[in-house]
Structure 1
Amino acid sequence: MYDLVLRRALIAEGRPPVDIAVAGGTIALVGEATWPVLARETFDCDGLVVVPGFIEPHLHLDKALLDSVAPNPEGTLAGAIEVTGRLKREFTHASVRARALQVLRWAVANGTTLIRAHPDVDPIGGLTGLDVMLELRESQRHLVDLQVVAFPQEGIERAPGTHDLLREALRRGADVIGGCAYNEADLDASRRHIDTVLGLAVEFGVPADLHADFADDTSDGRFALAGAIAEATRRHGLGGRVTLGHVTSLAACPPAERAEVVALLAEAGVAVVALPATDLHIGGRGDARAVRRGVAPVRELLDGGVVTAYSSNNVRNAFTPFGNADMLDIGLLLAQTCHMGSPSDTARILRMATTEAARVTGVHDGYGIHPGARADLVVLGTRRHADVLTDRPDRRLVVKRGRVVARTVRTTELLDGPDVPDAGVSGGPSVSGAPGRPAAVRRARVA
């Protein structure tokens, strides 16, 4: 007997729907099941798109939902760090947990089945955020997998005592060592920061995930270190185990210089995670005209063979006063701001939220929709992969390890006269299942 069967699931454009059968948290069959099938639970997708569970590879759960407490009136990176630094002094385990759990549950409802969380580790907040994430990693594992990053937001040399805290965080069970290469006093200190972080990765046998090059240009060398990180990755033998978040200043480099850095990243096996919601909000603040977009050159990174994903980064705080931890919302924003509007671009962005993000987080073995893969799946309320971003579809079902953990059922009809035919639209746009989003009418008729 199967635990769950998804009937007539569309898993690839241009191919007929298939049945997906799950047993023991693992996909047992992808194809045509022999009916009648014995299953504890069956759901007829009727041709709806089914994708692997979304992955948020860069999310600051510990700092989420702080904007209502103290916003960032300047809207700058320096202002966000200053505001958050003040608020961190008042963090308690209970307050961090409540905010983090709220956003974690939003993410699950929106189809996310793995989150890489980056709690701050520094002398201001100590290990409070990290301890909360370690606890949530265990208590919420039935809903979502949580990878915990020990993240030195305030720098290492700039914040004495941070190095010891990072080591303690790793001893307590952090999955990843983080870095913030630009938040040191000068370029030499930033380079030492990189070597310290990668040295800890080697010592403790964990991946490294650094915030890097988060600026509008490269006039300050602290924001032009992606190539140096690639070289350091090779020196430390960490190919395939290092990720960079932001990397916005790369877009400001001349094309030949960009191509050189992209090639270095690809050769060294360094991944990049774009964070468009934050990068667009904070970037370009000093531009009076021709305001820069401030997003990593995603298309060039993908074309150059760099493993590239995207993520929400922050949700409603001093760094990003928006968001619902919805990967399709962020994917749509990325498409709109990076000139990625074709069906093939949509397919790329969907891979960035799934298979590419799985490579970033190191879970690509056993991920996807095939026999033997983990049964982390999302049933979307749309019937074409090409419409996944523009439809903003309901997450009809979210499946974690073969168990349905979230369900969205919505029916909206316009009541302004006789029934209006669907005009051939199948599935159609829909409201997201994210808590916190108003229930606006997005389709004329939904069955």
Structure 2
Amino acid sequence: MDLVLRTARLTDGRLVDVHVADGTIVRVAEDEPTGAAHVVDCAGRVVIPGLIEAHLHVDKALLDRERPNPDGTLAGAIAVTGELKRGFTHDTVRDRARTLLDQAITNGTTLVRAHPDVDPVVGLTGVEVLLALRDEYRDALDLQIVAFPQEGIAKAPGTLALLRRALAAGADVIGGCTYNEATLAACHEHVETVLDLAEEFDVPADLHADFADDTSDPRFALAGHIADRVAARGLQDRVALGHVTSLASLPPVPRSAVLAKLAAAGVAVVPLPATDLHLGGRSDDRDVRRGVVPVRELWDAGVTTAYSSNNVRNAFTPFGNADLLDIGLLLAQVGHLSGPDDLGRVLEMATSSAARVVGVAETHGIRPGAAADLVVLSTTDPAGVLLDRPDRNLVFKRGRVVAETTKTTRLTTGSTTRSKELTHA
């Protein structure tokens, strides 16, 4: 054996030894002798599978210092970012992307699905940078690249040709921004074009959809239509939707009907609570809407569901540290989710459920045959993972340590001084 994590506590409370060979978990057993070259004593600390950012805009991160959003709206964020994109270079995008990816790795993320913009303004700059970073980071992080038409397709002539070039160059996923077209008919055509490209290049599709407070504008009420088109084309389990905030505004009966369509078509939904909360409800002068898709109803309907950071410190979301435990706690708070069962399921949204969304479920988890993408946390309490957001003591990518955090806090209370080792490796 190359590596054994000794006395690791799983989220179900069991204490096990996790045996790793050649970057793959080969055995998960209780108190089994080992001849491994490297043994890490977890001392009962919780070990989870690597966290997965299923929807992250790496190319647009950390722009808020350059120019914040003037009015806090989605339209304002798109406008500000559109202007800033004119000044993007490979070097500036690369520098900001590296900063964010390093932060994500430190926080226990082992896979990122990134959505770089593809349009006539920025061209393929973001895609080209991320293609290079995918290779640069391959030993520390898996990077999936989504060719994302933020400015629309019909609305931004020349975008379709750029999307084809991005996919031919090695982008892993075709993106969409279904609402950013001038008419409902154009939005429907946008969906068809994205699904055409998914079939032509044999890649999954990941679309931004229904990002509004309600469905008064039919361009923001397309989730059911997308599910119908996915089912008609036989693309089940290959399409994800981000945001889908307007779903929360529907009455219970039509909302349930949309949820049933999504589940039947295998269309995943990825709420993005930091952005959805920040940009939503801007026109409400009382009873401001939460603007986050109802997670419990997604669960109950059988819709595959993850969550993600989306944007970090830019006009869309002026907050964040690429820390999925922070985002998970935020989602739980706004979604009326509480107690060990709910919080455990929220954590699964960033691990096993996210793995299904991005297509790596067969190689993700803590079980024989899965990649040894693992995170040792500075807690022995599985129920406290989201509540405490413990340090990520050790982050493993395919059995190799790629990040380590060690911290000691000294408490001074009256005449008593004591040190508490909060994290240790």
1:376 and 1:409 map into 2 onto residues whose CA distance is 19
1:378 and 1:230 map into 2 onto residues whose CA distance is 35
What residue number does 2:112 align with?
115
What residue number does 1:268 align with?
265
2:149 and 2:13 map into 1 onto residues whose CA distance is 46
1:208 and 1:339 map into 2 onto residues whose CA distance is 30
Amino acid paired to 2:22: G
Residues 1:187 and 2:184 are matched in the alignment: yes
What residue number does 2:25 align with?
27
What residue number does 1:65 align with?
62
For residues 222-301 of structure 1, the aligned pairs below 5 Å read: 222-301=219-298
- Following TM superposition, by how much is the alpha carbon of 1:381 offset from its aligned partner in structure 2, in angstroms? 1.0
* Cα offsets for 1:358-406 (capped at 9, x unmatched): 0000000121111111000001111122111111101011000000111
Amino acid paired to 1:398: V
What residue number does 1:428 align with?
none
1:33 and 1:173 map into 2 onto residues whose CA distance is 44
- The structure 1 segments of at least 4 consecutive aligned residues displaced by more than 2 Å after TM superposition are 12-15, 32-35, 37-41, 416-421, 443-447
Q: 2:207–2:240: 8 Å Cα contact kept in structure 1?
A: yes
SS of equivalent to 2:231: helix
1:95 and 1:246 map into 2 onto residues whose CA distance is 27
2:209 and 2:367 map into 1 onto residues whose CA distance is 35
From 162, 169, 173, the counterpart of 1:165? 162
1:56 and 1:365 map into 2 onto residues whose CA distance is 17
* Cα offsets for 1:202-229 (capped at 9, x unmatched): 0110000000000000000000000000
2:302 and 2:93 map into 1 onto residues whose CA distance is 38
- Following TM superposition, by how much is the alpha carbon of 1:14 offset from its aligned partner in structure 2, in angstroms? 3.9
1:114 and 1:178 map into 2 onto residues whose CA distance is 18
What residue number does 2:399 align with?
402
Amino acid paired to 1:403: R
* Cα offsets for 1:230-289 (capped at 9, x unmatched): 001012211000000000000000011110000000001100000000000000000000
SS of equivalent to 1:192: helix
- Following TM superposition, by how much is the alpha carbon of 1:444 offset from its aligned partner in structure 2, in angstroms? 6.5
SS of equivalent to 2:329: helix
SS of equivalent to 1:358: helix
What residue number does 1:317 align with?
314
What residue number does 1:135 align with?
132
Amino acid paired to 1:325: A
2:116 and 2:399 map into 1 onto residues whose CA distance is 29
- Following TM superposition, by how much is the alpha carbon of 1:38 offset from its aligned partner in structure 2, in angstroms? 2.7
SS of equivalent to 2:409: coil
1:12 and 1:297 map into 2 onto residues whose CA distance is 25
SS of equivalent to 2:80: helix
Amino acid paired to 1:85: G
From 64, 72, 76, the counterpart of 1:75? 72
Amino acid paired to 1:13: D
- How many residues are paired up? 423
Range with greater deviation from structure 2 (163-172 or 409-418)? 409-418
Residues 1:150 and 2:147 are matched in the alignment: yes
What residue number does 1:333 align with?
330
What residue number does 1:6 align with?
5
Q: TM-score under structure 1 normalisation? A: 0.93
From 351, 357, 364, the counterpart of 1:354? 351
- Following TM superposition, by how much is the alpha carbon of 1:5 offset from its aligned partner in structure 2, in angstroms? 1.2
For residues 42-57 of structure 1, the aligned pairs below 5 Å read: 42-57=39-54
1:122 and 1:389 map into 2 onto residues whose CA distance is 38
Amino acid paired to 1:20: V
Q: 1:199–1:236: 8 Å Cα contact kept in structure 2?
A: no
Amino acid paired to 1:40: A
For residues 68-107 of structure 1, the aligned pairs below 5 Å read: 68-107=65-104
* Cα offsets for 1:62-82 (capped at 9, x unmatched): 000000111102110000000
Q: TM-score under structure 2 normalisation? A: 0.98
* Cα offsets for 1:142-179 (capped at 9, x unmatched): 11000000000000000000011001111001100000
1:303 and 1:236 map into 2 onto residues whose CA distance is 26
2:70 and 2:318 map into 1 onto residues whose CA distance is 11
Amino acid paired to 2:12: E
CA-atom RMSD, angstroms?
A: 1.3
2:346 and 2:319 map into 1 onto residues whose CA distance is 21
Q: 1:414–1:445: 8 Å Cα contact kept in structure 2?
A: no
1:417 and 1:401 map into 2 onto residues whose CA distance is 47
- Following TM superposition, by how much is the alpha carbon of 1:12 offset from its aligned partner in structure 2, in angstroms? 3.5
1:14 and 1:93 map into 2 onto residues whose CA distance is 46
Residue ranges of structure 1 left out of the alignment (5+ in a row): 422-442
1:328 and 1:417 map into 2 onto residues whose CA distance is 33
For residues 428-447 of structure 1, the aligned pairs below 5 Å read: 446=422
2:30 and 2:264 map into 1 onto residues whose CA distance is 41
SS of equivalent to 2:367: coil
Of all paired residues, the percent bearing the same amino acid is 65
Q: 2:410–2:417: 8 Å Cα contact kept in structure 1?
A: no
SS of equivalent to 1:39: coil
2:416 and 2:275 map into 1 onto residues whose CA distance is 43
- Following TM superposition, by how much is the alpha carbon of 1:446 offset from its aligned partner in structure 2, in angstroms? 3.5
2:175 and 2:335 map into 1 onto residues whose CA distance is 27
Q: 2:408–2:420: 8 Å Cα contact kept in structure 1?
A: no
SS of equivalent to 2:37: strand
* Cα offsets for 1:305-340 (capped at 9, x unmatched): 000000000000000000000000000000110000
Distance 1:309 1:322, change over 3 A: same
SS of equivalent to 2:55: strand
